[in-house]
Structure 1
Amino acid sequence: MDEARYNQLTSAAFKRILAAADDLDPDTLEADSTGDMVTLTAASREKCIINTQRAVRQIWVAGRGQGIHFDYDAATGTWKDDKGRGLELMSFVAGVVRDISGVDLVYPG
């Protein structure tokens, strides 16, 4: 995948995550974006960090005490973990948010 396509796909993923976070009470979950990184911080101060990995065209997520790398799967139009464990980016982030804040992250249609 070329850099322009990667940038387009990561931007879309980040916007979707931020849109879902913006629908939540900021006292429950705060979202910050700094270009290549989105940080979701729960009231407990626990975090979920979503970051680009440009050199390898991946998205990396830190949460649940682990770091997971996601590759874009053009066949399904989703980001899937690079170890083949069946993890999908949006579901994984929603699960981390639920774990750290107790609320559901619901993505816009």
Structure 2
Amino acid sequence: MPPLSESEFLALAVKELDRIEAAVEAAADAADADIEISRTGNVMELEFENGSKIIINSQAPMQELWVAARSGGFHFRRDGERWVDTRSGNELYDALSSYVSQQAEVALTLG
């Protein structure tokens, strides 16, 4: 799969951040969890009741989405229609479900 142009990647990244935001809102509502979501440009910040945060941002030069969570820093690269962790191979939404559940201290599934 050839690399996308920067503008193509950024459009794809914004679309994915929109999907992540909607998924977090839906999961938080379903679990009655308090997660504050803020976005500035291509950076999304999730803040939890315990004061911890998860930061998700796009890295156009690398064509990756980066996630910083309590459990570490993770890089996700597009593989067909999915975003996968460049080290573990975990799918983005499976991984985010784990990170968000850990920090919200309640089981959440992002889909």
Q: Which residue of structure 2 aligns with residue 29 of structure 1?
A: 35
Give the TM-score normalised by structure 1. 0.84
Q: Which residue of structure 2 aligns with residue 46 of structure 1?
A: 52
Say which is worse superposed, 98-107 or 49-58, in terms of deviation: 98-107
Percent identity at matched positions?
29
Structure 1 residue 27: Cα displacement? 6.3
Q: Which runs of 5+ in 1 are unaligned?
A: none
Q: Which residue of structure 1 aligns with residue 7 of structure 2?
A: 4
Q: Which residue of structure 2 aligns with residue 81 of structure 1?
A: 85
Q: Which runs of 5+ in 2 are unaligned?
A: none
- Where does structure 1 differ by over 3 angstroms across 4 or more consecutive aligned residues? none
Superimposed CA distance per residue, residues 32-80 of structure 1 (whole angstroms, 9 cap, x where no aligned partner): 1111111111100111110111111111001133101111112xx0111
Indicate the RMSD between aligned Cα atoms, in angstroms.
1.7
Give the TM-score normalised by structure 2. 0.83
CA contact (8 A) 1:38 1:49 kept: yes
